[in-house]
Amino acid sequence: MKHEKPILILTAHFGEGHVQTAITLAETFKRQGHLVYICDLYGEAYPAIHSLAQSLLKKGHSKLGTPFYKAFYYGTDKLSSKGLSYFYQHLGKKRLLKLVETYSPSFIITTFPLHAAPYLRLRSSFNIPTYTVITDYCAHPLWIHPMIEKYYVASDHVKRTLLSFGVEKSKIVVSGLPVRTGFRYTKEKHYASFGLSKTRKTVTLMGGGLGLIPNVEPILATLSKDPRIQAAVVCGRNEQLYSYLKKTIKSPNVHIFGYVSRIEKLYSLTDCLVTKSGALSLTEAASFKLPTIIFKPAPGQENENANYFLRQGAALSYVTQDDFLQNLYRCLYDKNTRDSLSGKVYSVYKEHACTSIVQDILRHDYKSSIDKLQRGREG
Above 80 in pLDDT, residue 9? yes
218-257 pLDDT, tens digit per residue, is: 889 989 999 999 999 999 888 889 999 999 998 999 999 9
For residue 1, the model assigns a pLDDT of 47
List beta partners, residue 81. none
pLDDT at 267 over 60: yes
Res. 76: pLDDT tops 90: no
**For 128-168, how does the pLDDT look when each residue is reduced to its tens digit (9 = 90+)?**
999 999 999 999 988 998 889 999 999 999 999 999 999 99
Residues 269-323: tens digit of each pLDDT: 999 999 999 999 999 999 999 999 999 887 889 999 999 999 999 999 998 889 9
Of the candidates 110, 96, 129, 115, which has an alpha carbon nearest to the alpha carbon of residue 5?
129
**Running DSSP on this structure, what letter comes out for residue 289?**
T
pLDDT at 190 over 90: no
pLDDT tens-digit readout, 37-74: 999 988 887 776 666 666 665 555 555 555 555 555 55
Q: Contact 106/372 with Cβ under 8 angstroms?
A: no
Distance CA(278)–CA(135), nearest Å, equals 9
Confidence grade of residue 115 (pLDDT, cut at 50, 70, 90): confident
Q: Determine the Cα–Cα distance for residues 267 and 342; give it in Å rounded to an integer.
A: 13
- Specify the DSSP element, H or E, that contains 67: helix 65-79
Please say whether the dihedral angle defined by the alpha carbons of residues 15, 306, 89 and 169, taken in this order, is positive or negative: positive
Alpha helices in 41-115 (DSSP H): 41-45, 47-58, 65-79, 84-88, 93-103
Helix (H, G, I), strand (E, B) or coil at 270: coil
Q: Tell me the pTM.
A: 0.90
Percentages (nearest 5) of helix, strand, coil residues in the chain: 50, 15, 35
Strand partners, 8: 37, 108
What the chain holds in terms of domains, given with CATH numbers, is 7-179+352-378 (3.40.50.2000), 191-348 (3.40.50.2000)
Distance CA 210, CA 240 (A): 11
Given a cut of 70, whether residue 366 has pLDDT beyond it is: yes
